[in-house]
């Protein structure tokens, strides 16, 4: 993938306007999916598909920005004695986030228009977007007002939750580890100190997200609604495209900085989200027999999205709306792409429709990638596609000034997933699935935003800091997802890391067909090698990461530091169905001399 | 429709295992298929593997509520049950797979005994436990002697079933055909509330019994959440005593 400066220098932008006939659009419709079935096998998500919903009918949902509350209204008051380094980083903003079960309208067509029961945060799904600033610590009180087990409408999720702030440099007790759950009628306080790891400004992060992390129930709880964005700004990435500071990046901001979270969801004929066939009640599409009928010939309608392997839905939602549309001005936008899971991976491309013709190679169909896992890169990278595994975050700029008013630009997912949800097939879909549409309008004003030449340098990798190396083997064993041959044990600490040291971890996939997005909490790391080869300069993976994209048989080594706090965190597969079935380890930051 | 994507070394490996898996799915879908390899001999007694897999596919065709094959099982007490209708429906349950012969290597029954003991007289009333043997040698009579070794209360039943029924239940709970490979040093205990449709798993290596009980208790039917002032769940005070396993102020109410 070329760096942006090289592209500008060489003028190698793929040129030429070519029209291809797209069967998808020529048919006047949009494919529900490009999935192809081998040998007549029909997966269950097609055996009993979700009800149809008119694509690109509803405008994109823009989550509200979280609004602080007066701390005096918090009863009881925040207690500094419950948090590490609270007084080092006294909160300047206080928030209250209430979790409830409510109906959410995924689409305006029936049956979706009556609403699907799910879990909301302050009435929103996804939850409110936090705008936080380096140097301004934040306090969030989360209150669980979900109905107790058996009294709610969402059957598959557990109304007990712990909210993890993904990629945050946050003390264990505020991190939202799997065992720190709150039950209905309870609250939990989170202190987010918002300082860069090691006070190194090169460790400043941008796009974080929060999501449920409940032990054994993360997949259904996130699927039920519990996810949202937490954005961090600083004086360079300042949330102001008109910033007079000459060093500011002036990335598209305000209306033009749009977080997009992708969840694939499966619905009943009533428009209710279903998780799997563990769900109570009658299975959609399965014919129940009359009472007294003892025959054994009930047709089995497939279980393919209903496994310990993964959960796939047949509707791609963006900010919890099915295939929305967005009016965009002919100018630059910053999109923050986040795969919220549970199990589907995406490979996003852009596609242009102009005057009924589909154009796949227009020079404007490209992403200027700003970040990997939400951490700004040393410099933007230009690419025509972005592969987004579960929990990956990529900030990208799309410059719609390359298009004409009236153009329609589609965000297309071309990743073909194994139908059991355990990973990609390795095939690239030709048509793919259209996740959302951008309708190009004239620009209302001059575009003051910029694509900077340089952003954040990578922190140096100093091997002299390395105290030890560790090997983590992710495997599948007869129905079990294991790490180093073990299942997660909340009472077992798998690594004791000395505070202030660095380690090199090797993450190995012993499976030859599974794929695992492996996430380690607390502090981002840098990949040293993938299958023994260093990451080349200009590669997207030459970046600060919190996810290792572990393909079949792959082995990835990374360098990481553990600083500033003590306590327990986890590393796990972020295919959250694998995580729930115990593909997780715990590590603990301990004082120097206490390590293993 | 599809094209190979040569540049993507991460995902370009459509593998033999994937093909095997698809084959298995075809069995499940009732489509004919040649190979049925790799099934563990233990589960089958003297039956040929291919025959068992074929029969298991037919058993899975009998799926009823919540995807459970409603198989006929014989308890160590000699009673015969339909697994879903008689034992699981509307209950909070613990389910595991085991074998008498493998217990020394993988002491999952010992873990179950700990859990069952911790629930005390709630076992059989609020929660029921089922241990399914995947070993055809584990007759109800042998299971009865085994259960006695663990002082199993009446709410904890050891179940024997035909090999194909065991395989079908294994597919349901793990999506895998068999129950034991010699490499297996651990296993899952399933817990769930069948009335609500809530299902979780935990490792059979239970190192903190109180916490395991708390985990299972989280799926018990509960009264409506209190409408009064919310209670603090945590984090507890830094200097306060408490388990290392979490930062909660106090154990959750069951």
Between A581 and B60, residue with greater pLDDT: A581
Between A82 and A581, residue with greater pLDDT: A82
Residues in chain A with CB shorter than 8 Å from the CB of B233 are 144, 180-183, 186-188
Chain A residue with CA closest to B190: the answer is A581
Residue that is written with structure tokens 């993450």 in the block: A507
Tens of pLDDT, residue by residue over A334-386, are: 999 999 999 999 999 999 999 999 998 999 999 999 999 999 999 999 999 99
Confidence check: pLDDT of A111 > 80: yes
The phi, psi pair for A482, rounded to 5°, reads -120, 155
Q: Which of B196, B208, B209, B239 to mutate to test the interface with A (most CBs of A within 10 A)?
A: B196
Between A12 and A174, residue with greater pLDDT: A174
Per-chain mean pLDDT for chain A: 88
Give the mean model confidence (pLDDT) for residues B187-205.
89
Q: Can you list the alpha helix ranges (DSSP code H) found in A137-188?
A: 172-175
Residues in chain A with CB shorter than 8 Å from the CB of B193 are 149-150
The residues with which A558 forms a beta bridge, in sequence order, are A505, A527
And the tokens for B180?
């034991």
Residues 6+ apart with CB under 8 A from A535: A527, A528, A529, A541, A542
**Percentage above 70 pLDDT, chain B:** 65
The residues with which A555 forms a beta bridge, in sequence order, are A508
Q: How confident is the model at residue A307 (pLDDT cuts 50, 70, 90)?
A: low
Tens of pLDDT, residue by residue over A456-510, are: 999 999 999 999 999 999 998 767 889 999 999 999 999 999 999 999 999 999 9
Q: What distance in Å separates the CA atoms of residue A347 and residue A441, rounded to the nearest whole number?
A: 26
Confidence check: pLDDT of A215 > 80: yes
B67 contacts A39? CB cut-off 8 A: no
pLDDT of residue A421: 75
Residues 6+ apart with CB under 8 A from B83: B68, B69, B70, B71, B72, B73, B159, B161, B165, B169
Give the mean model confidence (pLDDT) for residues B180-195.
80
Confidence check: pLDDT of B151 > 70: yes
Give the mean model confidence (pLDDT) for residues B191-201.
87
And the tokens for A575?
């295919």
**Angular region, A137: left φ>0, alpha ψ -120 to 50, beta rest:** beta
Q: Indicate the DSSP class of residue A125.
A: S
Instruction: Supply the DSSP string of B44-91, one letter for each residue.
Output: GTTS-HHHHHHHHHHHHTTB-GGG-B--EEEETTS-EEEIIIIIITTS
Q: What distance in Å separates the CA atoms of residue B244 and residue B237, rounded to the nearest whole number?
A: 13
pLDDT of residue A365: 98
Between A20 and B183, residue with greater pLDDT: B183
Q: How confident is the model at residue B67 (pLDDT cuts 50, 70, 90)?
A: low
Instruction: Supply the DSSP string of B85-129, one letter for each residue.
Output: IIIITTSEEEEEEE-TTTTTTS-HHHHHHHHHHHHGGGBTTTBEE
The residues with which A551 forms a beta bridge, in sequence order, are none
Spell out a b/e string for B230-243, using b for 16 or more CB atoms within 10 Å of the CB, else e.
Answer: bebbbbbeeeeeee
B5 contacts A428? CB cut-off 8 A: yes
Give the mean model confidence (pLDDT) for residues A110-123.
96
Give the mean model confidence (pLDDT) for residues A162-168.
97
pLDDT of residue A296: 38
Q: How confident is the model at residue B244 (pLDDT cuts 50, 70, 90)?
A: confident
Give the mean model confidence (pLDDT) for residues B208-236.
87
Q: What distance in Å separates the CA atoms of residue A558 and residue A490, rounded to the nearest whole number?
A: 25
Q: Does B72 touch chain A (CB under 8 A)?
A: no
Q: How confident is the model at residue A286 (pLDDT cuts 50, 70, 90)?
A: very low
Task: Please tell me whether the peptide bond between A475 and the residue prior to it is cis, using omega within 30 degrees of 0.
Answer: no
Confidence check: pLDDT of B139 > 90: yes
Q: How confident is the model at residue A236 (pLDDT cuts 50, 70, 90)?
A: very high
Q: What distance in Å separates the CA atoms of residue A352 and residue A370, rounded to the nearest whole number?
A: 22
* Crossing angle of the two packed helices B49-60 and B16-28, in degrees rounded to 10: 60
Return the minimum-mean-pLDDT range out of A273-282, A316-325, A332-341, A380-389. A273-282
pLDDT of residue B162: 86
Contact A432, A350 (CB under 8 A): no
* Crossing angle of the two packed helices B163-174 and B49-60, in degrees rounded to 10: 60
B185 contacts A512? CB cut-off 8 A: no
Torsion of CA A176, A316, A579, B246, to 10 degrees: 10
Confidence check: pLDDT of A91 > 60: yes
pLDDT of residue B50: 59
This model of the complex carries an ipTM of 0.86
Tens of pLDDT, residue by residue over B20-45, are: 333 333 333 322 222 222 333 344 44
| B195-254 residues touching A, CB cutoff 8 A | 195-205, 207-208, 211, 215, 218-226, 229-239, 244-248, 252-253
Confidence check: pLDDT of B60 > 80: no
Tens of pLDDT, residue by residue over A427-449, are: 999 889 999 999 999 999 999 99
Confidence check: pLDDT of A37 > 50: no
Between B42 and A75, residue with greater pLDDT: A75
Three state DSSP letters for A375-426: EEEEEEEEECEEEECCCCEEEEEEEHHHCCCCCEEEEEEEEEECCCCCCEEE
Confidence check: pLDDT of A54 > 80: yes
Tens of pLDDT, residue by residue over A524-535, are: 999 999 999 999
Q: What distance in Å separates the CA atoms of residue A75 and residue A94, rounded to the nearest whole number?
A: 12
And the tokens for A44?
């269950």
Q: Indicate the DSSP class of residue A460.
A: P
Label residue B141 exposed, middle or buried (CB < 10 Å: 0-12, 13-18, 19+): exposed
Min distance A227 CA to chain B CA atoms (Å): 20
Q: What distance in Å separates the CA atoms of residue A274 and residue A49, rounded to the nearest whole number?
A: 11
**How far is C-alpha B80 from the chain's CA centre?**
20
Return the minimum-mean-pLDDT range out of A28-37, A398-407, B239-248. A28-37
pLDDT of residue B170: 76
């Amino acid at each position: 993938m070329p760096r942006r400066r090289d592209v500008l220098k060489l003028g190698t932008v793929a040129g030429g306007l070519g029209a291809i006939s797209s069967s998808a659009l020529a048919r006047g419709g949009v494919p529900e999916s490009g999935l192809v079935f081998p040998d007549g096998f029909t997966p269950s998500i097609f055996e009993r598909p979700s009800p149809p919903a008119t694509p690109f009918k509803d405008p994109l949902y823009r989550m509200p920005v979280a609004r602080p509350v007066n701390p005096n209204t918090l009863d009881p008051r925040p207690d500094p004695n419950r948090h590490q380094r609270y007084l080092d980083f006294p909160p300047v903003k206080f928030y209250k986030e209430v979790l409830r079960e409510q109906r959410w309208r995924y689409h305006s067509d029936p049956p979706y228009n009556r609403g699907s029961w799910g879990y909301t945060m302050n009435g929103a799904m996804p939850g409110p977007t936090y705008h936080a600033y380096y140097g301004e610590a934040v306090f969030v009180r989360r209150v669980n007002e979900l109905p107790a087990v058996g009294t709610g409408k969402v059957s598959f999720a557990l109304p007990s939750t712990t909210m993890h702030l993904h990629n945050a440099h946050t003390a264990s007790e505020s991190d939202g580890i799997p065992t720190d759950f709150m039950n209905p009628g309870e609250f939990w306080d989170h202190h987010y100190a918002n300082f860069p790891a090691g006070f190194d400004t090169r460790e400043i992060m941008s796009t974080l997200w929060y999501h449920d992390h409940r032990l054994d129930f993360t997949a259904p709880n996130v699927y039920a609604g519990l996810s949202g964005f937490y954005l961090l700004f600083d004086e360079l990435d300042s949330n102001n495209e008109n910033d007079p500071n000459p060093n500011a990046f002036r990335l598209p901001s305000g209306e033009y900085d749009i977080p997009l979270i992708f969840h694939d969801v499966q619905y009943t004929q009533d428009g209710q989200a279903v998780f799997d066939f563990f769900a109570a009640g009658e299975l959609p599409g399965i014919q129940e027999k009359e009472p007294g009928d003892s025959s054994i010939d009930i047709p089995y309608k497939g279980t393919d999205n209903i496994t310990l392997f993964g959960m796939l839905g047949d509707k791609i939602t963006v900010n919890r709306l099915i295939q929305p549309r967005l009016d965009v001005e002919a100018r630059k936008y910053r999109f923050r792409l986040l795969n919220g899971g549970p199990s589907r991976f995406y490979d996003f491309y852009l596609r242009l429709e102009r005057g009924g013709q589909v154009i796949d190679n227009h020079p404007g169909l490209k992403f200027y990638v700003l970040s990997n896992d939400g951490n700004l890169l040393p410099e933007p990278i230009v690419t025509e596609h972005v592969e987004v595994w579960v929990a990956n975050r990529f900030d990208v700029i799309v410059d719609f000034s390359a298009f004409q008013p009236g153009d329609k630009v589609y965000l297309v997912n071309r990743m073909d997933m194994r139908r059991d949800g355990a990973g990609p097939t390795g095939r690239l879909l030709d048509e793919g699935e259209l996740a959302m549409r951008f309708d190009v309008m004239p620009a209302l004003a001059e575009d003051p935003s910029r694509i900077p030449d340089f952003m954040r340098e990578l922190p140096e990798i100093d091997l002299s800091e390395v105290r030890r190396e560790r090997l983590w083997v992710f495997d599948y064993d007869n129905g079990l997802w294991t790490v180093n041959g073990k299942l997660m044990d909340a009472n077992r600490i798998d690594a004791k890391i000395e505070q202030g040291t660095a380690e090199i971890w090797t993450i190995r996939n012993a499976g030859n067909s599974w794929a695992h997005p492996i996430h380690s909490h607390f502090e981002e790391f840098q990949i040293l090698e993938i299958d023994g080869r260093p990451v080349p300069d200009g590669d997207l993976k030459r970046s600060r990461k919190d996810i290792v994209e572990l393909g079949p048989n792959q082995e990835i080594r990374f360098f990481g530091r553990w600083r500033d706090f003590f306590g327990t965190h986890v590393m796990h597969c972020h295919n959250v169905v694998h995580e729930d079935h115990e593909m997780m380890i715990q590590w603990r930051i301990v004082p120097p001399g206490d390590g293993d | 429709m599809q094209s190979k994507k040569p540049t993507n070394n991460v995902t370009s490996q459509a593998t033999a295992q994937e093909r095997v898996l698809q084959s298995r799915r075809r069995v499940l879908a009732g489509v004919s298929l040649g190979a049925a390899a790799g099934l563990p001999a233990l589960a089958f007694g003297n039956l040929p593997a291919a025959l068992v897999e074929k029969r298991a596919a037919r058993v899975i065709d009998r799926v009823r509520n919540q995807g459970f094959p409603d198989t006929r099982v014989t308890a160590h007490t000699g009673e015969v049950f339909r697994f879903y209708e008689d034992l699981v429906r509307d209950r909070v349950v613990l389910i595991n797979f085991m074998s008498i012969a493998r217990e020394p290597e993988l002491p999952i029954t010992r873990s179950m005994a700990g859990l069952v003991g911790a629930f005390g007289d709630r076992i059989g009333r609020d929660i029921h436990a089922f241990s399914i043997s995947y070993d055809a040698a584990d007759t109800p009579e042998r299971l009865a002697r085994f259960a006695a070794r663990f002082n199993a209360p009446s709410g904890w039943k050891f179940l024997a079933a035909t090999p194909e029924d065991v395989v079908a239940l294994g597919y349901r709970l793990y999506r895998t055909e068999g129950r034991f490979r010699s490499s297996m040093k651990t296993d899952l205990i399933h817990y769930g509330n069948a009335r609500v449709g809530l299902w979780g798993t935990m490792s059979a290596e239970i190192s903190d019994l109180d916490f395991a009980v708390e985990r299972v208790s989280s799926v018990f039917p509960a009264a409506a959440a209190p409408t009064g002032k919310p209670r603090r769940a945590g984090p507890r005070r830094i200097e306060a005593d408490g388990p290392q396993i979490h930062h909660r102020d106090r154990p959750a109410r069951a």
